[in-house]
Amino acid sequence: MKVPKAGAVATVIALAATATGCGGEAPKEPISIGIKFDQPGIGMREPDGTFTGFDVDVATYIAKELGYKANEIEFKQVYSSDRELLIQYNEVKFVAASYTINDKRREKVEFAGPYFVAHQDLMIRADDNSITKAEDLNNKRLCTVSGSTSAENIRKNLAPKASVLELGGYSECLVAIRDNTADAMTTDNSILAGYAARKENAGKFKLLGLNMSNENYGIGLKKGDNDLQRKINTAITKMVSDGSWEAAVKKNFGPANYKYEPAPQVTTGH
């Protein structure tokens, strides 16, 4: 019989101790939460690897109420086009990513909330005076991200002759406007305000202040997981009542002088 080397034995013992917590409770697996990595003020992965934004604060608060500490959270990047897939394939426990509740998405995922109300708006170059309303986008180039419903709303109802440029992320749309390969960018005013408020963008862009839609942000989770839905709704309600929601809004949107709506009433799961 082959005798294992001392190093191998030590490794096996160490692994066994880790797995059992030295006879105590096994270490808790981190909770995986889907957020945006490129939306200033909403969900942003900063150069130093930390995460900032309102959705990050909401997700962290919810995770705490579910029994997880900050260091037990694993944030995973989601894009507008793959949020449902990550939830359906259990890549994340829930998604907090400027995720508007609508009937089409409800067919695939469950929602908790809403926890925030935004409005669709337009952002253009600060020196562009040719666009003052959505109808001015006819024969102009409108940038949006794949999977977003914003451009579809404008083409269908306001500017049918607008050409739509679909890119992978809002940061790419921002570059397209800056470089004059697009004339306008559309999404929720909360997201646009986050971009306009960044120091590097100061004075370069402007929001038109159009409230073209009501976007109720919800927490996306696995279809049929009503227990988790109930727990998240309870956490959201608590976050509003103890003042943490208001503090997070002011911290993330305050520098942009963003006029936000009061916290909405939680309505899902009722």
pLDDT tens for each residue of 38-49: 888 899 999 999
Delimit the domains of the chain by residue range.
31-118+215-256, 119-207
- Mean pLDDT score of the chain, rounded to an integer? 88
Per-residue tokens: 252:
């993330």
Rounded-to-integer distance, Cα 63 and Cα 33, Å: 9
Helices 226-241 & 244-253 angle (0-180, nearest 10): 80
Give the model's pLDDT for residue 252. Answer: 85
Tell which wins on pLDDT, 169 or 3.
169
Average pLDDT estimate for 112-127: 95
Rounded-to-integer distance, Cα 107 and Cα 117, Å: 21
Q: What value, to the nearest 5°, has the Cα angle with vertex 16 and ends 11 and 19?
A: 125
- Reduced to 3 states (helix: H, G, I; strand: E, B; else coil), residue 39 is strand
pTM of the complete model: 0.77
Given this structure, which CATH class describes domain 119-207? alpha beta
Average pLDDT estimate for 90-94: 98
Average pLDDT estimate for 120-144: 95
Per-residue tokens: 85:
């897939």
pLDDT tens for each residue of 248-265: 998 887 666 677 889 999
Closest C-alpha among 111, 110, 131 to residue 121? 131
Does 31-118+215-256 match 119-207 in CATH topology? yes
Q: What value, to the nearest 5°, has the Cα angle with vertex 198 and ends 196 and 203?
A: 55
Provide the b/e sequence for 77-97 (b: ≥16 CB within 10 Å): ebbbebbbebbeeeebbbbbb
Rounded-to-integer distance, Cα 114 and Cα 263, Å: 9
Looking up tokens 């900032």 gives 52
What are 38's strand-pairing partners? Answer: 44
CATH number of 31-118+215-256: 3.40.190.10
Give the model's pLDDT for residue 270. Answer: 59
